[in-house]
A = this chain, B = another copy of it.
Amino acid sequence: MVQTNSIIFHFFLEIGNTYRNIAINMGITKTDIFSDNQNRLASLLKALAHPARIAILQRIMLSNTCICGNLVGELGLAQATISQHLKELRNAGLIQGSIEGASICYCINPKAWKLLHQQLNNFMGSYQELNNCC
């Protein structure tokens, strides 16, 4: 068993008649041990990694303009849920919204989209098949 050199804080808790090992940061992703690029790419992919958000993005791209609100009628999700997914895409920087009267229009953020496309091509393309392998 190789020992890792990460620093984790633990404490011990007596429950009944046994001690239980408790790590402070359990359940939270350890971003500090990865590079900024790895964390950023993972974060953007996480924003994409939901069928509703993929459907939303496809819908925006297909219509080729801003989308104002029609989303709620088309997907089978509650308005609150769609608003939440839009918020995640907005926070990731993948879409941007502009106020249009009573409604808000969303469209792709061109810069972020191109950058992600490049990064993905770079990542996926860094594999070249060889046959000296399993």
What is A's interface to B at a CB cutoff of 8 Å? 1-2, 4-6, 29-31, 33-35, 38-39, 41-43, 45-46, 48-55, 57-58, 61-62, 64-66, 72-73, 75-79, 96-98, 105-108, 110, 113, 116-117, 120-121, 123-130, 132-134
Which residue of B4, B62, B96, B128 is within 8 Å of A72 (Cβ)?
A: B4
Question: Which one of A1, A33, A35, A50 has the greatest number of beta carbons of chain B within 10 Å?
Answer: A50
A60 to chain B, nearest CB (A): 8
Q: Which residues of B contact A48 (CB under 8 A)?
A: 42, 45, 49
A49 to chain B, nearest CB (A): 4
Which residue of B53, B76, B124 is within 8 Å of A116 (Cβ)?
A: B124
